[in-house]
Chains A and B, each alone.
Chain A
Amino acid sequence: MVIEKIIYKKPESLTDCNFTYCSGCGHSTVHKLIAELVDELGIREKTIAVAPVGCAVFAYDFWNFDVSEAPHGRTPVVATAIKRIHPDNVVFSYQGDGDLVSIGLAEIMHTANRGENISVIFINNTNYGMTGGQMAPTTLLNQVTTTSPMGRNSKNYGYPIKMIELLVSLQGVKYLERVKITSPASILKAKKAIKKAFLNQINGTGFSMVEVLSACPESWKKTPREAIKWIDEEVSAYYPVGKIKDIE
């Protein structure tokens, strides 16, 4: 008799809807990590996510837990109010770099400064993916985008914002880590970091954010493999990965 053992299955926290992201897109990887973690922590029935305006606006098609939309950049504000109303639920905002660093800069700073007990998953792909690959405040110097065709220059456009380093001085912020998802090992590290952000919230530690350096092969005009290489060589050279703040 053959005994079949299930060693892997689709997380309960994912719907049957196939991801519609471009191949090699970091959103797919992080969506799946989050779904796995929500299952592992047994919090599917307690989790409420806020999806951003950006490619990940469709997160609500893929996650099988409660999800709200938010106006562009106001994502952590909506998450704040949901958490204040339902303090026993696990509430996280999921935001792109345009959403979090550009239009929603004031929102994230004040959410962090108030020390809201939420988790923020910040997907930095150094451009506005959804609108066709325009320059973002996070775009690297010399990076070509549809609105910086000659490459971003600091003279006209300043320097790429390191969001974690900007948040680090705020006393309300308890945990900041930057991760990448370019290899099985780094993906496991990323999962660990996101898990910590969720556990911090569950334990009442306070505001936690994980920044994920994420591939956008479509806008970068690279193959998925080239995109990963570019993160390892260029993006993470400017945005160093690692734990930047961890206050228990």
Chain B
Amino acid sequence: MLGKTIKMPQETVFIKGNHAIVEAAIDAGCRFYAGYPITPQNEIPEYMSKRMPEAGGTFIQAESELISINLVFGAGAAGARAMTTSSSPGISLMQEGISYMAGCEVPGVIVNIQRGGPGLGNIAPSQSDYYQAVKPGHGDFHSIVLAPHNIQEMYDYTVKAFDLADKYRIPVIVLSDGLLGQLMENITLKKDQETEYLDMPKDWALTGAKGRDGQRILSLLMRPGALEKHNEHLREKHRTICDNEIQYECFSIDDDIDCLIVAFGTVARISKGVINIAKDMRIGLFRPITLWPFPYMKINELSKRVKKVFVFEMNYGQMLDDVKIAVENSDKIEFYGRTGGGIPTQEELYQFIKARTKGRGY
């Protein structure tokens, strides 16, 4: 039965981002979770170890992120809604599993509460796994990437991730960071939220061959041409996703803006503050919510209306590459990024815009 309504608690709660992910997963019908400790996402497995058994689901503390992702792969192959969470170094270990999930078309949700890298890096917030999220694993495939920028969205987009995963039989990554993971805000746990695909029939799943021949979950296609055909099928699916699932927010964008900021997640949040203090300039914010599929066309259209396109990130310019693809005249683009756990302040970004526009705001 599609379009089933799940009853959700109505109350507004003051909640930490990492805890909101847990509530969202439970409310979305996820009944299988596996995770391994890593800061700054430890609240997720900790809280999940209580909430998941309460909800009648399976919680496994995996012994590595390799085990986490392959548990999610197995649970997904068996037809369950399954999730794992980690932070950057752990997500690196999951790349193999994500590739297998994509190849085998096994749905699942992976949350990355990013920290600084490379290597062990640090435990401060970062956006330096953008490349890894939008171009994960080996082989020709995409996974959907959702980037929340507040705690309500941590909740909403985690719920949405499960629907997208089932709808398209694809791994979905929620790309967040340590700041959003640790931040507390008031949010509304949605009651009567439509999770359209919760009860979607999964006749492809492994349940035992009752009254039928055995079926397979596989990605090995050795016969000449077989893999190419399969990848063509994946590409068609990717095109459908690009046509239907792109999401973004336009903030303070009107006909008069001179400058466009393009930022996602935490930096988009800070950029809203910049716009609020920059009363002397006409700036709008474009915030991609789906990092894949990336809203190239919308950025292309908006960039034609402004003199400058500012790209702000907590990395040394990763989404910048995609903005460059979108913007025809890349001379318009100005980039400012902090790395290694550095978080740009409102003032810092404001001064950068001023300096690059000779104080005129464009």
Contact = CB atoms under 8 A, between A and B. Distances in A.
Interface string A51-85: 00000010010011111111100100111111011
Contacts, number: 124
A70 B73 contact: yes
Interface of A is mostly: mixed
Nearest to A44: B209
Contacts of A45: 208-211
A82 B218 contact: no
B96 interface: yes
A61 B210 CA distance: 18
Contact of B71 (A67, A80, A86): A80
A106 B63 contact: yes
A229 interface: no
Nearest to B211: A45
A69 B211 CA distance: 22
A110 interface: yes
Interface in A103-119: 106-107, 110, 114
Interface stretch (B74-82, B186-194, B256-264): B74-82
A60 B216 contact: yes
A48 B211 CA distance: 14
A134 interface: no
A107 B70 CA distance: 10
Nearest to B103: A69
Given A77-B70, A110-B67, A84 B217 contact: no
A66 B70 contact: no
Contact of A82 (B78, B104, B209): B78
Nearest to A45: B210
B67 A86 contact: no
A106 B77 contact: no
A86 B213 CA distance: 18
Given A74-B97, A106-B67, A81 B74 contact: yes
B146 interface: no
B143 to A, nearest CB: 16
Interface residues of A, number: 33
B217 A69 contact: yes
A107 B67 contact: yes
A28 interface: no
Contacts of B206: 48, 66-68, 82
Q: Which of A68, A80, A114 lies at the interface centre, i.e. has the most chain B CB atoms within 10 A of its CB?
A: A68
A64 B220 contact: no
A225 interface: no
B11 to A, nearest CB: 31
A68 B66 contact: no
Contacts of A81: 32, 34, 70-75, 77-78, 82
B100 interface: yes
Contacts of A89: 207-208
A78 B58 contact: no
Q: Which of A46, A79, A84 has the most CB of B within 10 A?
A: A84
B96 to A, nearest CB: 5
A95 to B, nearest CB: 13
B231 interface: no
A121 to B, nearest CB: 17
Nearest to B206: A66
A70 B217 CA distance: 9
Interface of B: 32, 34, 58, 60, 63-64, 66-67, 70-75, 77-80, 82, 96-97, 100, 104, 206-211, 213-220
Given A57-B220, A68-B77, 15 more contacts: A45-B211, A48-B78, A60-B214, A65-B214, A68-B74, A69-B219, A74-B70, A74-B97, A77-B71, A78-B71, A81-B72, A84-B60, A84-B75, A106-B63, A107-B70
6 contacts: A44-B209, A64-B213, A67-B206, A67-B216, A70-B100, A81-B78
